[in-house]
Amino acid sequence: MYSSNLLRGNLQAKYPVIPTPQEINYGNEEIAFKTINITKSNFRNVSNKLEAFFYAKGIKVSSKGLNIQIIKAEIPVDNSDEAYRLVIDSKIKIWASTEKGAYYAIQTLKQIFRKYGKKGRFPKLEITDWAAFKIRGFMHDTGRNFQSVSQLKEQIEVLSQYKYNVFHWHLTDDPGWRLESKIYPELQSEAATSRGKGKFYTQEDFKDILAFCKDRNITVIPEFDIPGHSRAFRTALGFKSMKDERALPALLALFDELCSLADPEEMPYIHIGTDEVRNSEEYVSKDFVLEIMKRIKAKNRELIVWKEGIEIKEDTTSINQLWAQHEPRAGHRFIDSRANYINHLDPFAGMSRLYFQQPCRQPKGDEFALGGVLCAWPDNNVNNERDILKQNPIYPSILFYADAIWKGRKKDHFEFWAKLPSKETDAFKAFQKFEEKVITHRDLFFKGKEFPYVKQTDVLWNIIGPFDHKGDVLTAFEVEDTLKQSYKSNGKTFNWSESVVGATVHLKHFFNFSALTSQKTGTFYARTQIYSPNNSTQDFWIGFQGWSRSGGRRVGPFPDQGQWHTTNPKIWVNNNEIAPPIWQQPSLGTKTDEIPFIDEDYFYREPTKINLKKGWNTVLLKIPQDRNSWKWMFTCVPVTVKNEGVSEVKELKFRTAFNMTSKVSLSSFPKNYQLYARDSNNKAIINISGKVDSSVDSLIVKVHRSQGTVTRTAIAVKAQFSVPIEIDAIKHNYTIALFVKAKNREEVFIKKATHVTAGDVYVINGQSNAWAIDYDNAYNNNHLPENAKWVRTIGAMHVYNQPAILPEAENTDWYLASGKAPDIRSGKELVGRGMVGVLGMNIGLNLVKSENVPIAIINGSGGGGAISYYQKTIDYDLDKPYGRLQKRLEASGLKGSIKAFIWNQGENNAGDSIVHYKKALKRLYNDLKTDFSFEKFYIIQTPPGCNSNIGHQNVREAQRQFVKEHEKIKILTRHGFLENPKTEDGSYFLSDGCHYHAHGYEVLANWISNLAKYDFYGGEVDYQAPQLIEVQLESSKSLIIAFDKPIVIQSNLLVDGIFYAVKDHLFALNNHKTSSISKIEVLAENSKKIRLTFSEQSLLKGDRLTYILGDNYFLRSKPYSGPWLVDKVTGVGAVGFTSVLE
């Protein structure tokens, strides 16, 4: 079956996983099933949960059902106790070292399960996943606002779905002490409780939550916050201040009572608060706090305190939970809750912060950086508990934060804490990709729940300002009357910005995070255009200056009727001013904590209805700011609000009115000779995208094939554009031409690319025999066949051991491939643009001929060097071979569409141990898998030669073992050529015994391309080298070698007047070559087996047999070049090996 990157992309979009796994590779198809059958489980509790999940979905257990195995195995990664590996193919296999890891694997399975009719479906995929941080938590403040056990469980269930493992439960605060005490029952009295009187958690409720969490691998961290936030405690027990001599004994008794509710294994952490001691009645001595710390440690619990909080010099072991921008104490472990309080987050702008913020300000956890806790502090009183979820973006925050705290972030993008990146950036594309996953999860898993988020990455604004209103927010500026590209005001020139993205835009952030301005006052204007296919009345979420759900109407007062906000912002649509809502609680002051919010912010009040006309609608916002207001921001986005939730209005499109570039700016356009990867329909998509200035009305893309116009696409554009062009993957060259047109003017030519085509992609890497110099000058331009014009490449080959040779190291132009490679023997030709070497050229030519499709060959080899030279250092390091190849593949657009990655290296690792080379190969392979996507990985086993006195037997064995351990990898050899060619020296090899004449590289290329035909194009013969199955001791004088394919023994070979036989030169016992083999024969009854008979040596169980020891003929200095054991059908040499006699 022809596989497709397009299909893989569709599956990725259809089956997104949150948080993003550390390693994930989607296949090209789905599996369907009616029943399941868990045939093996080392974690019965987990498999029971999985069966219960399927049962609830109408999928029953059957002996003929989808085979599922849950296997206990070590996963050698960070935080391995929570790691798992998941493979879905014809069956499902899960590996984990602990029940936690297995549990997270089934949480992933549950996310990607779909049911259509009576059948369940999964995508084929492979995942290896682990957590970047040990603690991944969420906190609720139930001290201020009680939530029922059922509502907490609802949220905890969601936490478990997204691999959180901590529920931080803030149980006490000024309004109430919410955990039942049987020692001091007066703590739950109505007199002591100022909100939610009579509402508290019984000790049975508490244990119920603990058990519920434990069942989901979540640890509860209970918090009694003292000595601040203690009004309920003091009121209940009649203390005027925390200095009352009865306060400390009471608290010690309460912490003892808390610890009695669960043992240290189930409840290992106790949080004692210590933050915000701001009032005289809350002050205590440090000895007071120290006594509590000692008591909790005596109960064998880990102690957590807030930082900023009370610091005790003698405390050297507490865990600091950081808030605001506080740093941990030196030498203390810490949990990061800085700048992630949901009560301050806008549902749109806040998600950028949670996505781009780096937990603990480092890529992953360590012995000090334990992880993070996402916090919800809805300080204000609420009418009912559900308002906590309605008025705070709890569920969107959980999803966005889950990705950062599980996967980790390589960098802390402070610049995006309050705004989205520019559209052209990689950071924006990453956010956009994750947003699509969030939208899919919202629609699948949050129906009927409060999820105030819609797609915002297509909401575009031009913004201008801030104009100086000189203290009068009512001041009108020319923008309100006349639309033009620039304005002058108070001696300054103001221009519209480039496109700003987002449903909410912070103009200046209230915590001084990076936004659009640092000025404190002024007036901004924001403008966009929205296309509607029909006349309609549309719901919009519109808001100005936002309201945190803490501190009352923080920096109020709340606006009066007729105002959107006290700063008097306005919105016009098609020049019609849109009236603000009729407020239910107008003109309330700041200190109104006890008056619940009702309609204060856009996402929990009725949407604003706006009439849109058919076609483009102009939206203009005015956003002034004065010195009395705290936030300077706006929100404007169309929404569809139904009982099941909020969603996008997909038929509406945004565009910006102004882009100040003076010409067409292309972000994506084909290059001459470029090859695009084809999909399963034998098509490829060319995306032409960029921006145009305001003078452009439309653009035209003309596509020519064989001198005729295939398509002519004309679209109306303003600013950003993207035009997908489909071409066929056949041996045709396309010409793509771009024109723009202003109204009533002729088309203007912009750019053209010729010889564009589509086909398949292969990558070669390794040392000199992957480099493959044309030593015979056989591949000069006069000798190239007709099909050579359909072999393409990008950039230049570059010698391995030199820093970046510019400009070629940065070259990303496309070329007709050349069979040449830079001739590095002279030391002068170190780079070569458009070159792929003899080997690469012949792989391309063979596949073009057999499959009738263009082929790209990208050769990143280096002409020499041990495997360490080819390892990854940092991304796009042009001083290293890996970085140079990475640069070329990134620029090619093909890094996710590679058919096979061909690794041909090992000569320079002679003398390496098996373990050392295999470890290096594993590291390289894992980096390649992370950075690129390839369907197969071909290893060319290192042959004898290259004049090494040490030999490459360990390298060969390491390569053989590595292939056996990976299904995706295949192995070929570079020995077993059928007969000597008729060259001047009568050999495939050069005189150095290491490199090849062109004919030698051609034979190897034939084998590689035939293997590709079998793997990808329906070929009938598998050209993989015969692999060892086992070596069995038959008697003290004979043994049997079993291969996976029929074998023949090549005839004796005449070299320099001497006949050489396989039995005399290729085998060794216990690392010593042997000449005592009297006979070698293929078994008549099984041609996959060979018998070796020894005349002198006695064989013992446990002896090690090596096939191909050293690099030379026995007792000669001449490099070995045959004869060999070879595949009976293909002639490919059998793999070299070292194996113990069984």
**What are the tens digits of pLDDT across the range 404-445?**
999 999 999 999 999 999 887 889 999 999 999 999 999 999
Residue closest to 887 by CA, chosen among 794, 789, 757: 794
The per-residue DSSP string of 759-796 comes to EEEEEEEESHHHH---TT-TTSGGG--GGGGGEEEESE
SS3 960: helix
SS3 1019: coil
Supply φ then ψ for residue 780, to 5 degrees: -75, 165
The pLDDT > 90 percentage for the chain reads 78
- The distance of Cα 579 from the centroid of its chain, to the nearest Å, equals 44
Q: Lowest-confidence range among 57-61, 377-381, 800-804, 971-975? A: 800-804
Please give the domain boundaries of the chain with CATH numbers for all domains: 5-129 (3.30.379.10), 136-419 (3.20.20.80), 460-655 (2.60.120), 665-755 (2.60.40.10), 758-1016 (3.40.50.1110), 1028-1140 (2.60.40.1220)
546 touches 634 (CB < 8 A): no
Does residue 170 surpass a pLDDT of 70?
yes
pLDDT tens digits, one per residue of 193-239: 999 999 999 999 999 999 999 999 999 999 999 999 999 999 999 99
Quick one: pLDDT at residue 6? Answer: 53
Quick one: pLDDT at residue 464? Answer: 96
The pLDDT > 70 percentage for the chain reads 95
Q: Average pLDDT in the 483-506 region? A: 90
- Measured CA to CA, the distance from residue 970 to residue 599 in angstroms comes to 63
pLDDT tens digits, one per residue of 449-476: 999 999 999 999 999 999 999 999 999 9
Q: Average pLDDT in the 180-188 region? A: 98
Q: Kindly indicate the confidence band of residue 1054, based on its pLDDT and cuts at 50, 70 and 90.
A: confident
Q: Average pLDDT in the 827-838 region? A: 86
* 213 half-sphere exposure, CB direction, 13 A CA radius: 27
pLDDT tens digits, one per residue of 523-537: 999 999 999 999 999
Sequence-distant (6+) residues with CB within 8 A of 595 are: 381, 552, 585, 588
Quick one: pLDDT at residue 849? Answer: 95
Q: Lowest-confidence range among 56-60, 445-449, 554-558, 1086-1090? A: 554-558
Q: Kindly indicate the confidence band of residue 661, based on its pLDDT and cuts at 50, 70 and 90.
A: very low
975 versus 364: which is more confidently predicted? 364
Quick one: pLDDT at residue 800? Answer: 85
Report the sign of the C-alpha dihedral through residues 837, 842, 847, 853, in that order.
positive
Quick one: pLDDT at residue 996? Answer: 84
923 touches 956 (CB < 8 A): no
pLDDT tens digits, one per residue of 933-962: 999 999 999 888 775 666 788 999 999 999
Quick one: pLDDT at residue 658? Answer: 62
Q: Kindly indicate the confidence band of residue 1057, based on its pLDDT and cuts at 50, 70 and 90.
A: confident
Q: Kindly indicate the confidence band of residue 662, based on its pLDDT and cuts at 50, 70 and 90.
A: very low
Averaged pLDDT score across all residues of the chain = 92
Size (the chain), residues: 1142
SS3 387: helix
Q: What HEC string does 422-478 produce?
A: CCCCHHHHHHHHHHHHHHHHHHHHCCCCCCCCCCCCCCEEEEEEEECCCCCCCCCCH
Does residue 782 surpass a pLDDT of 80?
no
Sequence-distant (6+) residues with CB within 8 A of 702 are: 709, 711, 712, 713, 736, 737, 739
Quick one: pLDDT at residue 408? Answer: 97
pLDDT tens digits, one per residue of 840-897: 999 999 999 999 999 999 999 988 889 999 999 999 999 999 999 999 999 999 999 9
- What 8-state DSSP symbol labels residue 207? H
Does residue 82 surpass a pLDDT of 90?
yes
Quick one: pLDDT at residue 825? Answer: 75
Q: Lowest-confidence range among 612-626, 791-805, 1023-1037, 1108-1122? A: 1108-1122
Sequence-distant (6+) residues with CB within 8 A of 321 are: 271, 304, 305, 306, 307, 334, 335, 337, 373
Q: Lowest-confidence range among 14-23, 104-113, 635-644, 764-773? A: 764-773
Beta strand spans in 674-767 (E): 675-677, 683-691, 698-705, 708-716, 720-728, 734-741, 748-766
Does residue 514 surpass a pLDDT of 50?
yes
Quick one: pLDDT at residue 411? Answer: 92
Q: Kindly indicate the confidence band of residue 760, based on its pLDDT and cuts at 50, 70 and 90.
A: very high
Quick one: pLDDT at residue 1020? Answer: 94
Q: Kindly indicate the confidence band of residue 986, based on its pLDDT and cuts at 50, 70 and 90.
A: low
- Measured CA to CA, the distance from residue 1018 to residue 3 in angstroms comes to 12
Quick one: pLDDT at residue 550? Answer: 93
705 versus 916: which is more confidently predicted? 916
Is the pTM higher than 0.75? no
Q: Average pLDDT in the 186-199 region? A: 96
301 touches 219 (CB < 8 A): no
- Measured CA to CA, the distance from residue 570 to residue 564 in angstroms comes to 7
Q: Kindly indicate the confidence band of residue 5, based on its pLDDT and cuts at 50, 70 and 90.
A: low
Q: Where are the alpha helices (DSSP H) in 998-1115?
A: 998-1016, 1062-1065
